[in-house]
A and B are shown apart, each in its own frame.
Chain A
Amino acid sequence: MTAGAATAALVAFAARLWTAPRARLGLLLVALLVLAAAAAPWLAPYDPSAQLDLATLQLAPPSTAHPLGTDLFSRDVLSRLLHGARISLSIAVLAVLVAVTVGTAVGLAAGYGGPVLDAVLMRVVDSGLAIPRVFLLLMVLALWERSTSLTLILVLGLTSWFPTSRLARAEALSVRRRDYVVAARALGLPSWRILLRHVLPNIAPALLVSAALGVGQIVLVEAGLSFLGVGVQPPTASWGNMIADGQTHLLAAPWLAAAPGLALVLTVIAFSVLADGLQDALNPRSS
């Protein structure tokens, strides 16, 4: 496919995206989530770290003043939920950006750069896929002790790029042999130019699907890490550490753990539906 044809495919893809019902639903859900998260400082009725009234408002059940109740430190759960959405979503989106960028770069290099580079890089990818994610993350987080949001984003991103690299590699391999690519190389065009103009547009839709799924997955992973205590550090609210806080009061105040958990489920569902919708638009053949 030439560059022109690739752009045409992209436009067609976008058109299909808009008409496919699942894609529309997914986009809607995700847009709602992102909006709620971005508008958290204005939507949240209270400051998420403010301990409102230690004497009377500890572990208060849901009420009109506090629709999701308060936690052990008399902090409003709804406000923490909204701010937590902001933290969790921004970490996940940025991490996915890192993952897709690194994965694409590595995959293209492996597919395009010759057999030796391919072999070495793919062994790294294999080993990355072999170490279960949580173990890898725990190992990295243990060795680099400080756990700021930035380290978290980097660490999550740098441990999630492996599947993307396989995708990019496959495409780069198939493109390599095409006529126009051979011609371009003969003309002396630099590799990165070729990759940028011919390969990237082809894999862009697949990358989008991968990214959408990735956000959902990374939100869950970050929640798990925060639950274990090695992710987002308190008092910053993350859905994961809110669930950990709620664990000690499971019987007495179940809303503390239930609300962030449900929020997580809804978020992941939203991104999964979006990914499915993107997949539909990618392959018009019905499922």
Chain B
Amino acid sequence: MGAGLVTVLGFLVRRLAQAALVSFAVVTVTFVLLHLAPGEPLATFAESPYASPEVVAQMRRNFGLDQPLLVQYGRYLANITRGDWGMSFAQHRPVLAAFRDTVGNTAVLALAALLLDFGLGIAAGVMQASRPRSVTDRILSGISLVFYSVPVFWLGLMLLLLLGEALHWFPVGGVVDPVLYPSLSPAAQLVDRLRHLALPALTLALVGAGATARYQRAALLDAMRQEFVRTAKARGLSERAVVWRHGLRNALLPTITLVGLSLPALLSGVVLVETVFSWPGMGRLTVSAITQRDYPVVMGAALLAAFSVVLANAAADIAYRFADPRTREAR
């Protein structure tokens, strides 16, 4: 048992160290990009009408731009770790403060989308795998192919047009009703939030579910061919029971990893969906920062997104490790 604990701890440490290493690499990549870009790094900041010469000079000193490259790199690393991600010139406040207001909204959207995505995707995948090559299978395959191929922003626009503007079933933008929300009862507030969340989350979920269903179907069919499934069938269990009890449980394991793997695509989609639905999250903030030449915000957003992905992948790997019966039994 003691040996088991040591190996588990060892795995944890290694996995987290790997995450830290990748994070370090991400920060380095952004630093390199910033310095590869044409012109002096702060030239574009200085262009902003909000930056007075004194403020720009202060930033120059902070970033040590008069110092050799290595010193600059060190300062940059130190700043990022300390939580000083620079100043948003368009909003007159630190980048992290601007993120604090928007991260929550993006997190809510991403979470809702993930839940819907995996709910729909796994259900579809199971349905397909339990009747391979049937009509249901072919139809669902076709549907998931279509949703996998749809541009997420276009799907959002079509849903907005149909369900929002034409049928008025859902509001056309925002997180809550700005005027009525504070005076609603808690239950009504929840309903209001859900109504505003529905379309953007559904858009992201449908596109993601297309990929999830394909993956889940393949994983499940694979699992069905495994030894233990055949043993179960030999024991006389019905097809259904086999799928549900043995195949699914084992096929769900890779799904944990899929959560981590699908996060980058999800976050990419979030940028577009937030723009279409005026959802005040990190994505919309980044897009407006681009037009405003507010580079600290753009870079900070990329960093934050990357850190989330790294964290999610590490969490998924650790969860997988604990959930996989094979690894457990091998100890």
Contacts and interface: CB of A to CB of B under 8 A. Distances in A.
Interface of A: 123-124, 126-136, 138-144, 216, 220-221, 223-224, 227-230, 240, 243, 247, 250-251, 254, 257-258, 260-261, 264-265, 267-269, 272-273, 287
B166 interface: yes
Given A132-B265, A133-B268, A142-B295, A265 B22 contact: no
B157 A123 contact: no
Interface in B263-278: 263-269, 271-272, 275-276
B151 A130 contact: no
Interface of B: 21-22, 25-26, 28-30, 33-34, 36-38, 44, 145-146, 148-154, 157-158, 160-161, 165-166, 218, 221, 263-269, 271-272, 275-276, 286-287, 289-291, 293, 295, 298-299, 301-302, 305-306, 309-310, 313
Nearest to B221: A287
B295 A143 contact: yes
Nearest to A257: B157
B290 A265 contact: no
A250 B26 contact: no
B276 to A, nearest CB: 8
Contact of A227 (B153, B165, B299): B153
Contacts of B149: 216, 220, 264-265, 267-269, 272
Nearest to A126: B22
A261 B158 contact: yes
B126 to A, nearest CB: 17
A228 B287 contact: yes
A123 B25 contact: yes
Contacts of B299: 139
A135 B272 CA distance: 11
Contact of A138 (B26, B158, B264, B287): B287
A132 B267 contact: yes
B165 A250 contact: yes
A127 B298 contact: no
A126 to B, nearest CB: 5
A125 to B, nearest CB: 9
A220 B269 CA distance: 11
Contacts of B161: 250-251, 254
Given A127-B306, A133-B265, A268-B150, 12 more contacts: A130-B26, A131-B29, A131-B302, A132-B305, A134-B268, A134-B269, A135-B267, A135-B271, A143-B295, A250-B161, A254-B161, A268-B149
Contact of B22 (A130, A257, A261): A130
Contacts of B269: 134
B295 A123 contact: no
A254 B157 CA distance: 10
B34 to A, nearest CB: 7
B154 A228 contact: no
Contacts of B44: 143
Contact of A142 (B150, B268, B290): B290
B167 to A, nearest CB: 12
A60 B30 CA distance: 47
B306 A130 contact: yes
